[in-house]
Amino acid sequence: MIPDSFRHVRAWVFDLDNTLYHPSARLFDQIEVRMTDWVMRTLSVTRDHADHLRATYWRLHGTTLAGLMREHGVDPVPYLEDVHDISLTHLTPDAELARGIANLPGRRFVYTNGSAPYAERVLAARGLSGLFDGIYGVENADFQPKPDETAYRTVFAKAGIDPAEGAMFEDDPRNLLVPHAMGMQTVHVAGLATHESHIHYHTDDLSGFLARILE
Ligand SMILES: [Mg+2]
């Protein structure tokens, strides 16, 4: 069942955060603190107000950064550097996942709403360096984040990905809507399944899922 629906796949696209490492590493907690601090400093607002703004921007614009850029004209480059300046000591190398990714037939990509340099650091900490044909961050989509359709179109064009021959792995169900509409296989990687029609597969064990694809 699984091998059949992935047999045509030639481009394997992975989100980074909470997809290529387990959410228990809680990296996003560190990033969130830095984002809130950044909003407080830059917009001179209280912590409560900064959290409220971030929640609003996430809902309306997809990410805190997209809201900051559209509503406040924020320069994304120093922002991305600052919020991703976090400790990766909670990450450990994952040989099983590395094996699963290395064995996938075709090209392999990382596409994150974080920055590409941050993705490189995370991949190194997970023992996944050198396995990917391209690593794309939000800066590679003109700072348009997933789930904007233009963001996927920009990155897929740069990477030469034909969505009809692609599969996308993501922990955020929202970010699978456009890939599904573009004709990709969609895999939701998370502890809890959501039953939405744009999600083809769910797994809480990415390594095990990849191993089953390759059986
Ligand atoms: Mg993620």
**63 and 138, same domain (yes or no):** no
Q: What's the rounded mean pLDDT across residues 169-181?
A: 97
pLDDT higher than 70, residue 147: yes
Cα of 114 vs centre of ligand 1, distance in Å, is 9
Quote the tokens at residue 164: 């009809």
Total number of domains constituting the chain:
2
Q: What is the CATH number of the domain that holds 55?
A: 1.10.150.450
Residues 6 or more apart in contact with residue 79 via CB below 8 angstroms: 38, 65, 68
Phi then psi dihedrals of residue 8, to 5 deg: -85, -5
Cα-to-centroid distance, 70 and ligand 1 (Å): 22
State the distance from the centre of ligand 1 to the C-alpha of 215, rounded, in angstroms.
26
Same domain, 209 and 103: yes
Taking only the tens place, the pLDDT of each residue in 113-144 is: 999 999 999 999 999 999 999 999 999 999 99
Residues 43 and 100 occupy one common structural domain: no
pLDDT in tens, 8-22: 999 999 999 999 999
Q: Is 107 exposed, middle or buried (0-12, 13-18, 19+ CB in 10 A)?
A: middle
- What is the CA(17)–ligand 1 centre distance, in A? 4
* Distance in Å, CA 33 to ligand 1 centroid: 17
57: three-class secondary structure by DSSP: helix
Residues 127 and 53 in one domain: no
Taking 60 as the threshold, does the pLDDT of residue 149 lie above it? yes
Q: Using the predicted structure, report yes or no on whether residue 2 has a pLDDT greater than 80.
A: no
pLDDT confidence band for 214 (50 / 70 / 90):
confident
Closest CA to 132 of 158, 104, 167, 166: 104
CA of 186 from ligand 1 middle (Å) equals 14
The CA distance from 28 to 155, in Å, is 23
Q: What is the pLDDT of residues 25-81, one digit of tens each?
A: 999 899 999 999 999 999 999 999 999 999 999 999 988 999 999 999 999 999 999
Which domain, by its residues, includes 167?
2-22+92-213
Q: What percent of the chain has pLDDT over 70?
A: 99
Tell me how far the alpha carbon of residue 127 lies from the centroid of ligand 1, in angstroms: 18
Q: What does the mean pLDDT of the chain come to?
A: 95
Q: What is the model's pTM?
A: 0.94
Angle, helices 47-61/27-43, rounded to nearest 10 degrees: 110
> What is the reported pLDDT for 1?
53
In this structure, are 97 and 188 located in the same domain?
yes
Distances (CA, A) of 11 to 72, 105, 161, 169, 181: 36, 8, 6, 11, 16
| CATH number, domain with residue 139 | 3.40.50.1000
- Give the Å distance between the CA of 189 and the centre of ligand 1: 9
Compute, in angstroms, the gap from residue 71 CA to the centroid of ligand 1: 24
